[in-house]
Amino acid sequence: MAQNYSSEIDYEDEKRIRNRIEELRRGRKIITFVSGKGGVGKSNLAVNTAIALSQLGVRTLVADADFGLADVDLLIGLKSRFSLRHYLSGEKKMFELAQLGFDGVRFISGGNGNSRMLRITVDETERIMNGLRRIQLPIDIIIIDGQAGATDNLMKVLQLSDEAVVVTVPEPPAVTDSYSLIRNAQNRKVMPPFQVIINRVTDTADAASVANAFLRLVGKDVDEASLSYIPEDSAVRRAVRRSEPCLIAEPDSDFSRAVRQAARRLIGIPENPEPEDVVDGVRTKIRKFFGNKL
Ligand SMILES: Nc1ncnc2c1ncn2[C@@H]1O[C@H](COP(=O)(O)OP(=O)(O)O)[C@@H](O)[C@H]1O
Ligand SMILES: [Mg+2]
């Protein structure tokens, strides 16, 4: 059958995505993004990963659980009249909070700048998690933008999550804080299976050695399935200023390409067979660095 190479690849890729989505539809999954400290890009990665998943056809919701410091509204450019605060007060049902955002992704606000949400208790956190788990909307994956640092609320969120994504930057203070966050959660026996994202990578060999040491410390195998690298990219700051997620504002940027690949990895779909330059470039260099260990 005369079929050219690239259309054959596309067909196979679409089939893989379709099969994976069918699996995901059988059970809702909560994936929480965490970081040892603030400012490492956790919210941007949570939002843009959610959009990338939605673009693949996964029915995705982002919930902002960085209570009090919730800023996902700003990143998405939506003004929310209702937030998780209205769920806790009983004024709204969980599904009534969800707004439709870019490319079909749904979004629930954490109520930013609200002092009530700064004082949220662990029991209230548990109510929110249960409400999200049972939300009456057709949702396959719930991405939670969690609090930075090992707070009691975050520990409860992790305990009630199916998976986590630990976001760090390659600098030692951020890596150390991520390590203590994971250790803390592991000691309390609340750490779900997790992947690691190293964000703001400029020096790939450096990031790879950081990642390698880090994964070993937290007792994970150094394998491709559990690790993503996201490059430093000025497109992120430009997008944040415009209150538009980078994936929408600059879909061809290095950041957006890398996030799309990370999103695929998150749900276990192999890398896009049509190589996306940056990630592929990064990976090739990393492979060289590690020899055949990766
Ligand atoms: N890959 C990146 N490249 C360049 N700048 C980034 C990148 N990721 C994040 N940033 C910058 O870091 C800032 C903080 O990101 P944010 O997602 O709000 O962090 P957090 O939620 O961890 O506090 C962003 O406004 C952006 O300017
Ligand atoms: Mg944030």
pLDDT band at 288 (very low <50, low <70, confident <90, very high): very low
CB 260 within 8 A of CB 17: no
Q: What is the whole-number distance in angstroms between the Cα of residue 240 and the centre of ligand 1? A: 8
pLDDT band at 222 (very low <50, low <70, confident <90, very high): low
In our burial notation (b when 16+ CB lie closer than 10 A, e otherwise), range 54-66 reads bbbebbbbbbbbb
Residue whose token pair is 């993004």 = 33
Q: What is the whole-number distance in angstroms between the Cα of residue 115 and the centre of ligand 1? A: 24
Token duo for residue 110: 């954490």
Bridge partners, 197 (sequence order): 167, 228
Residue whose token pair is 């606000």 = 109
pLDDT band at 4 (very low <50, low <70, confident <90, very high): very low
Residue among 248, 226, 225 nearest 238 (CA): 248
- The rounded distance, in Å, linking the Cα atoms of 153 and 143 is 16
Would you mind telling me the total number of residues written for the chain in this entry?
A: 294
User: What's the pLDDT score for residue 9?
Assistant: 60
SS3 call for 2: coil
CA distances from residue 37 to 2, 43, 120, 166, 283 in whole angstroms, order as listed: 54, 12, 19, 11, 26
- The rounded distance, in Å, linking the Cα atoms of 192 and 175 is 19
Q: Is the pLDDT of residue 70 over 80?
A: no
Residue whose token pair is 């009456």 = 136
- The rounded distance, in Å, linking the Cα atoms of 101 and 104 is 6
Token duo for residue 139: 């949702």
Pairing of strands 106-108, 99-100: antiparallel
Token duo for residue 23: 């699996």
- The rounded distance, in Å, linking the Cα atoms of 134 and 28 is 9
The residue nearest atom 27 of ligand 1, judged by CA position, is 237
Percent of the chain with pLDDT over 90: 64
- The rounded distance, in Å, linking the Cα atoms of 278 and 252 is 11
Q: What is the whole-number distance in angstroms between the Cα of residue 38 and the centre of ligand 2? A: 7
- The rounded distance, in Å, linking the Cα atoms of 268 and 262 is 10
pLDDT tens sequence across 74-126: 888 888 889 999 999 999 999 999 999 999 999 999 987 777 888 899 999 99
CB 153 within 8 A of CB 23: no
User: What's the pLDDT score for residue 273?
Assistant: 58
Is the sign of the CA dihedral 21, 24, 30, 32 positive or negative?
A: negative
pLDDT tens sequence across 231-287: 999 999 999 999 999 999 999 999 999 999 999 999 998 777 544 444 444 544 444
User: What's the pLDDT score for residue 10?
Assistant: 77
| pTM for this model (two decimals) | 0.90
Q: Which ligand is the nearest neighbour of the Cα of 240?
A: 1
Q: Which ligand is the nearest neighbour of the Cα of 262?
A: 1
Q: What is the whole-number distance in angstroms between the Cα of residue 234 and the centre of ligand 1? A: 10
State whether the beta carbon of 237 lies less than 6 angstroms from ligand 1: yes
CB 230 within 8 A of CB 201: yes
Q: Tell which one of 33, 51, 199, 237 to mutate to probe ligand 1, the residue whose CB is within 8 A of the most ligand atoms.
A: 237
pLDDT band at 199 (very low <50, low <70, confident <90, very high): very high
- The rounded distance, in Å, linking the Cα atoms of 48 and 272 is 17
State whether the beta carbon of 168 lies less than 6 angstroms from ligand 1: no
